[in-house]
Amino acid sequence: MAQRLQTMFSPGVISIEKKPNGKRVAKVESARYDSGSRNVFREDDLKDLVQISRVPDHFIFTVESVGALKPDVLFLEAVKVLKNKCNLYMDALLKNQS
């Protein structure tokens, strides 16, 4: 069952750990590689053994650059733009309250 469960997810998501008693147990190795497939819930013998949930305030994203800026610089510049837009929005809200 552990091996079947492993095949239901993207490579790298589930690893199989061998216990001292010889039993093999599936373990989440890296949830980051999960593509969001829910194929495991189609399997009657596995669907009740798996719980998939999300952490509400946890985000994973990738920054790619094909231009002159490196990804880390591009990210910092994007944060500055976002901060300016938030300040502009907050100023507009405060003006409408008065």
Q: Is the pTM of this model over 0.85?
A: no
pLDDT of residue 85: 96
What 3 state SS string does the chain have?
A: CHHHHHHCCCCCCEEEEECCCCCEEEEECCHHHCCCCCHHHHCCCCHHHCCCCCCCCCCCCCCCCCCCCCHHHHHHHHHHHHHHHHHHHHHHHHHHHC
Spatial CA neighbour of 60 closest among 30, 93, 81: 30
Average the pLDDT over 30-39 and give the result.
85
pLDDT of residue 15: 96
Residue 97 confidence class, pLDDT cut points 50, 70, 90? confident
- Cα 56 from Cα 70, distance rounded (Å): 29
Give tens-digit pLDDT for 55-91. 888 877 778 888 888 888 999 999 999 999 999 999 9
Tell me which amino acid residue 26 is.
A
Tell whether the model's pLDDT for residue 39 goes beyond 90.
no
